[in-house]
Chain A
Amino acid sequence: MSSQQYQPRPSAQEPQQTHAADQVSGRVAAAWDAYDSILDEIDAVLEKDAEAFVRGFVQKGGQ
């Protein structure tokens, strides 16, 4: 998504900047906590061998 529509949280390495991120509404910012908390746990849930996991998911064509 273009930077106008979505601003990821700045990482620790990036200097804090005032830009379009400040225009994102409060309700969007509040929801980000849920996503960050899911991402904090994601390493435990994602397969250790992501490549093998993805390669192993093979389906037949359906309708």
Chain B
Amino acid sequence: MRIVGIETEYGVSAPGSELGPEVLSELVIRALAPVVPDRVTVAAAKLGPEDLAANRVLWNGARAYVDHAHPEYSSPETASPSQLVAYDLAGDRLFADAAKAVTDATGVEVRVYRNTTDGKGSSYGRHENHLVSRDTGWQKIVDVMTGFLVARVPLVGAGRVGIGQRGERPGYQISQRADFLVTPIGLQTTHDRPILNTRDEPHADPRRWRRLHVITGDPAFNEVQTWLTVGSASLVLAATEAGAVVPVRWANPVLALQSFSHDTTMATTAETVDGRRLTCLDGMELYLEAVEAFVANAGEAWGDGTGQLLAAWRQLLDDLRSEPSATADRLDWVAKLRLLDGLRSRAACGWDDHRLAALDLLWADLERSPAHGLAARGASRRVVTDDQIDSATTEPPPDTRAWLRGTLVRRFPDDVASASWDDLLIRRRGGRLQHLPMPDPLGYSRASVPAAASCPDLDALISSLGR
């Protein structure tokens, strides 16, 4: 079981109002279900600088907070890429509902966006998190993943009108993030953003675990895109742990990634250190072949889900080579480009026309996105069902420590004084506060603490855990 999670920094705005993103982010986080509606009105009326930095743990085990003037949803730890798709889209449901609650309570129309740039030079992130064994050599991870993160651009891009950090050049590119990735490796996430982020905060036993923090992808509505983005990276990491991947070493990874993003025909080649010239699809093919061989050699260790994922990844790659427009039912950048080309043709305008940028922004609107209309018309392939997404808004994943976190926060909200990824602060009988450390992301699952769902007494439950 390879634990994965996604953190999404949303855009937020209230067109026509004076309220800025800091205040709007606070209001949205405070309005997340479950919440007493009165609290939203009170918050809106009295919010001042001293009230900022809302921080919530949700019933599904996710965390929601304000991060650098963005409302952020950090999914619970999930046990599979397909499960993560449900929890990722559950975040959209929760945040869209919260925005509506703020709108209703304040009379100010609040909109939340699944994107990563405002087209004016600001970039914010959609980060993937992969739990990796600490035993895996760090340099191996760096070499393999840098090459992969460059090649995978057409898999992870949500599309962007405008080229350059400020969108100064008219046109369309595959990735929203590409122009902001300016160095191959580094620690920063708010400036000098790297392809390979070296942040080492596992929120788990650091002797056993590393959390690889991947900041290069875009947030997509298409379920297949998210599934394959997370699943492919997860499998590449698994293969890396086994020493089964030869990295693609780009001579200039930043230039390669950006030039791949800027070419929607995917014909651009970039040089490798050993003198080959590869397209992004060539690069992805090499990683896919390595993963296919790794999984085949591992026999029964990988289940049906992995087989389906690999087959879907292979079919996507084949389609990107032979009939890219057919991938509109799986990739946001292709679907959005199809709409933009249609608008461009009908309006007989160029890429610098504001209507195209407006459609780009509309695509990201959680409430109004044309992605929903396409899905309703059967023009997108699905990975999960609406019921699964709905359940994921309130029920934590059963196989990770998110299960205990979400279950206790729901059932004993007054006795969980605070919750972080790897710790709960519990109010014991008599009022004493006590920590319950959770250093293993696979620990405290439903299978290991089934009583948490039904026990009438939190204090007795904690005692039964030997604390």
The chain A residues found within 8 Å of chain B, CB to CB, are 1-2, 4-6, 8-9, 11, 24-25, 27-28, 31-39, 41-42, 45-47, 50-51, 53-54, 56-63
Tell me if B125 and A60 are in contact (CB < 8 A): no
Residues of A within 8 Å of B22, CB to CB, are 60
Q: Which of B42-50, B100-108, B373-381 contacts A (4 or more CB under 8 A)?
A: B373-381
A5 to B121: give the CA distance in the assembly, Å: 31
> Is the Cβ of A56 less than 8 Å from the Cβ of B342?
no
CB interface residues, B 314-364, toward A, < 8 Å: 323-326, 328-329, 337-339, 341-343, 345-346, 353-355, 357-359, 361-362
Partner of B374, one of A2, A35, A53: A35
Interface residue from A6, A36, A50, A57 paired with B11 (Cβ < 8 Å): A57
Q: Which residues of B contact A39 (CB under 8 A)?
A: 339, 342-343, 346
Complex Cα distance, B161 from A57, in Å, reads: 14
CA distance A56 to B190 in the complex (A): 22
Contact of A61 with B359 in the complex, beta carbons under 8 Å:
no
A27 to B67, CA, bound (A): 42
Contact of B357 among A35, A37, A41, A54 (CB under 8 A): A54
Chain A to chain B contacts (Cβ below 8 Å), 30 pairs: A11-B346, A33-B377, A34-B373, A34-B377, A35-B374, A37-B373, A38-B374, A42-B343, A42-B359, A45-B370, A47-B15, A50-B358, A51-B354, A54-B358, A54-B361, A57-B13, A57-B15, A57-B118, A57-B119, A58-B13, A58-B120, A59-B69, A60-B69, A61-B68, A61-B122, A62-B122, A62-B190, A63-B68, A63-B127, A63-B189
Decide: A61 near B124, CB < 8 A? Known: A24-B323, A38-B370. yes
The verdict on B123 contacting chain A, using a C-beta distance below 8 Å, is yes
Q: Which residue of B lies closest to A60 (CB)?
A: B69
Q: In this complex, what residue of A is CB-closest to B116?
A: A62
Smallest Cβ distance from B26 to chain A, in angstroms?
Answer: 13
**Interchain CB contact under 8 A, B358 and A38:** no
Give the chain A neighbours of B323 by CB distance below 8 A: 5, 24-25, 28
Residues of A within 8 A of B12 (CB): 59
A51 nearest CB neighbor, chain B only: B354
Give B261-304 as 1s and 0s: 1 = Cβ < 8 Å from A's Cβ atoms.
00011010000000000000000000000000000000000000
Q: How far is the CB of B72 from chain A (nearest CB, A)?
A: 8
Among A24, A47, A59, point to the contact of B124 (Cβ < 8 A).
A59
A32 to B338, CA, bound (A): 9
B10 to chain A, nearest CB (A): 9
State how many angstroms separate the Cβ of B443 from the closest Cβ of chain A. Answer: 28
**A44–B355 Cα gap in the complex (Å)?**
12
* A1, A39, A57: residue with the most chain B Cβ atoms closer than 10 Å: A57
* Minimum CB–CB distance for A25 against chain B, Å: 6
Contact indicator A63/B378 (Cβ below 8 Å): no
B358 touching A1, Cβ below 8 Å = no
Q: Which residues of A contact B338 (CB under 8 A)?
A: 6, 32, 35
B265: chain A residues within 8 A (beta carbon):
1-2, 4-5
Residues of A contacting B9 in the complex (Cβ-Cβ under 8 angstroms): 62-63
